[in-house]
Structure 1
């Protein structure tokens, strides 16, 4: 189930983004992004619709996925 980012309080959405950044190994190209920059990028992708929040009832968890990925918004 997709959760609209605006349905969550800002603090909750930020905590989800921080958790995602801490567990995901991501290559940011030639320069290393700070933790804050990475979190802001995740929040920006959620805001723009490039990424979606997916809630799994089976695992009782929330994940962030690209919107174009199978199981994403498109």
Structure 2
């Protein structure tokens, strides 16, 4: 199930995105980015619809995934 990012309180969204960024360990290339910059980049992806917040009832987890890879059974 997709959770609209707009439905989350600001602090909740910030904590979710920060947790995602820290968990993912994404490679940002040669240029280092601060945690705040990485968080803002993910939030921008949520705002533009490139990424979505997904809740899995089966696993009782929340994750951020690319919108084009989301499946209703997640």
TM-score of the superposed pair, with normalisation by structure 1: 0.90
Q: Secondary structure at the match of 1:55?
A: strand
1:30 CA drift (Å): 1.9
Matched, 1:41 2:19: no
Note the residue ranges of structure 1 that are not aligned, 5 or more in a row: none
Residue 31 (structure 2) aligns with: 31
Moved over 6 A (4+): none
RMSD: 1.2
Larger helix proportion, structure 1 or 2?
2
Q: Distance in 1 between matches of 2:52 and 2:8?
A: 13
Note the residue ranges of structure 2 that are not aligned, 5 or more in a row: none
Q: 1:48 to 1:60 in 2, by over 3 A?
A: same
